[in-house]
Amino acid sequence: MSNFTTTVRAGSRARRARRLSGSITRVVVLSAIAIAFISPIIFMIVTSLKTRADATAIPPSWIPNPISLQAFASILAPGTTTPVLQWFANSMVAATLNATLVVITASLAAYPLARMQFRGKNFVFVIIVATLLVPPVILVIPNYLIVSELGWLNSLVAIIIPTAASAFGVFFMRQFFVGLPVELEEAARLDGANRFVIFTQVVLPLAKPALATLALLAFLGNWNDFLWPVYVLFSPEVQTLPAGLSTLQSANAVRYDLLMAGAVVASVPVLALFVFLQRFIIEGVSRSGVKG
Amino acid sequence: MAHRQQGIATPWLFLAPYLLLFGSFVILPAVLGVWISLHSWDYTLPNKPFVGFDNYVALFSPGSTVSGPFWGSMRATGIFTLLSVPLLLIVPLAVALLMSKKFPGRDFLRAIYFAPYVLGVAVISVLWRYLLDNNIGLVNHYLGLLGLPDDTAWTTTTPAAWVALVGVTVWWTLGFNAVIYLAGLQDIPIELYEAARVDGAGPWMQFLHVTIPGLRPILSFITIITLLASANMFGQSYLMTQGGPGRETRTAIYQIADTGLRNFQMGSAAAMSYVLTVFLMAISAFVFYIFREKRPRKLDKEVRS
């Protein structure tokens, strides 16, 4: 009997020790990957603070010597052919307006698809969801013609409006609305409120987390969009940051101090959003997968 | 039942703003693209004569001026997809499995893995072209310190360029897939693992018989979006390798965009985009087929064994 308990205890102690060493290995492996993952971003910031000579020095160093704002000063200076500050403003305006448009149109469209009965509802929903599977490439050439017909080529409007037709947004908001308890809306109906009042006064306040997530994802998507702005915006002063970075790279192939400063300018807002709101962003992404 | 009491117009008023955008920039272009592909549509010329299926025929005629570059770019897309998709399915799953148990700092690590993804393709491509520079880049410098060749031309020779493009893409999007896996893992009921353990299943058997079946919907979702993302690769090639050496890493999207929006041969580019789309849809359908529910057969197998 006592022999048996000692064996059991020794066994569980060994198991605990094994589990502990297992979890230490786990943390070590995961931390090593994390360091490898974050160091390129840190090196980008480090290089943006170097002088021209220091940025291409061999061996490369992790500490700028001296710390210099020269690269930022020269790319942010007004009157260059690569107006980074202007690109920053363009990206900010485009991503903000695009995200606003996505949130408004997608939540308005999602509400009747979640809560009302009407003819054609399933048809509309199926068409919208089906376009999620259509490769975006088939839209690029014809959309260029449409945008050109509308007179939006080489203008920020082309970056703001066409991409605001977010099928993902409608799908995402509909899932959220379906999951809301219907009682509050019914109570408001009994009080005689119309659908639009119910939507704005009752439903939207409850949907704030989902609206914030969608706004963030739309903002990030628009901020980082690359192919469309590269081809639709051709004058330097109307470009967004990603398209501008491409221009900056062609103009300064090996001026890595300038390129990294430009990359930092393009990353600061999204990294800041990410640091403060990463829970929203990560949960938004993972929810889109689980429920999709 | 109160839902039914509403004006017929009400739902459509809610839908109208979205449908206006959706109709103008999704449905209309999807149809217009077919029309364009049936014409010799040079954006810069006034006449855009109808040519029937000539644009498609040219793509499938060996030796025509468009077919060589187009299939070369399809090949590049195929190479990139074949190399990147397995890594982007397996590595993030391994990371998610390591992260599935709670430990201090887990949310912090998750955020770090995800961070590259928020940067966008332009930033990461410009950054990595610097890190991969064959003379002064960090990558060759560290390879040299390890006693490995330190003069690989990562962006101007193949196969090194493929390693670079795939590696950078894995670094960039690993966190995205890992986060989705992680959410899927957390949805698998713990009781299933306990039951498997009671039945004497070790970690590997638990992985095969609990984790993988439990992840199936997530696996099919991740496989599809990863395949489509890899097959749509553009920015990395445009900024890191400029499609080179020669045209070797010029992907199908790159070729379509350049043909249609630089050289303004829009009819041909539209035809290319539909050919690519047919490929992508066939692959997606195949993935759905692989991941379809196949309970009956599995039960059958279990009964037999």
pLDDT value of position A8 = 54
Q: What would the mean pLDDT of B274-287 be, rounded to a whole number?
A: 92
Provide the pLDDT confidence category of residue A82 given band limits of 50, 70 and 90: confident
Å between B305 CA and nearest CA of chain A: 32
Decide if B280 contacts B85 (C-beta within 8 A): no
Given A116, A141, A190, which is nearest B10 (Cβ)?
A116
- Dihedral (CA of B189, B190, B193, B196) sign: negative
Q: CA torsion, points B33, B36, B38, B40, in degrees to nearest 10?
A: -150
* The amino acid at A151: G
Cα A141 to the center of its chain, rounded Å = 25
Tally helices (H) and strands (E) across chain B. Answer: 16, 0
pLDDT in tens, B41-75: 888 888 888 998 999 999 999 988 899 999 999 99
pLDDT in tens, A4-51: 555 556 666 777 777 777 778 888 888 999 999 999 999 999 999 999
pLDDT value of position B243 = 92
Tally helices (H) and strands (E) across chain A. Answer: 15, 0
pLDDT in tens, B23-36: 999 999 999 999 99
Q: CA torsion, points B131, B136, B139, B141, in degrees to nearest 10?
A: -160
Given B17, B32, B141, which is nearest A142 (Cβ)?
B32
Domain of B97: which CATH number? 1.10.3720.10
Say how many domains are in chain B.
Answer: 1
Ordered by start, the domain boundaries in chain A are 2-72, 82-291
| CB contact residues (below 8 A), chain B span 48-67, against chain A | none
SS3 B147: coil
What average pLDDT does chain A have? 89
pLDDT in tens, B96-121: 999 888 888 888 898 999 999 999 89
Residue B25 lies in a domain: no
Decide if B183 contacts B190 (C-beta within 8 A): no
Q: Structure pTM?
A: 0.89
Return the residue of A nearest to B36 by Cα.
Answer: A142
pLDDT value of position B234 = 95
Q: What would the mean pLDDT of A227-253 be, rounded to a whole number?
A: 92
- Look at A65-69, A288-292, B121-125, B138-142 and tell me which has the smallest mean pLDDT: A288-292
| CB contact residues (below 8 A), chain B span 194-223, against chain A | 218, 221-222
* Total residues belonging to chain A: 292
Report the 3 state secondary structure along A57-110: CCCCCCCCCCCCCHHHHHHHCCCCCCCHHHHHHHHHHHHHHHHHHHHHHHHHHH
Residue B100 lies in a domain: yes
> Hey, are the CB atoms on B110 and A286 less than 8 Å from each other?
no
What average pLDDT does chain B have? 90
> Hey, are the CB atoms on B277 and A138 less than 8 Å from each other?
yes
- Look at A229-233, A281-285, B85-89 and tell me which has the smallest mean pLDDT: A281-285
Query: Which residues span the domain enclosing B191?
Result: 73-304
Provide the pLDDT confidence category of residue B2 given band limits of 50, 70 and 90: very low
pLDDT value of position A156 = 96
Å between B109 CA and nearest CA of chain A: 6
Provide the pLDDT confidence category of residue A166 given band limits of 50, 70 and 90: very high
pLDDT value of position B107 = 87
Residue B10 lies in a domain: no
Q: For the structural domain made of A82-291, what CATH number should be given?
A: 1.10.3720.10
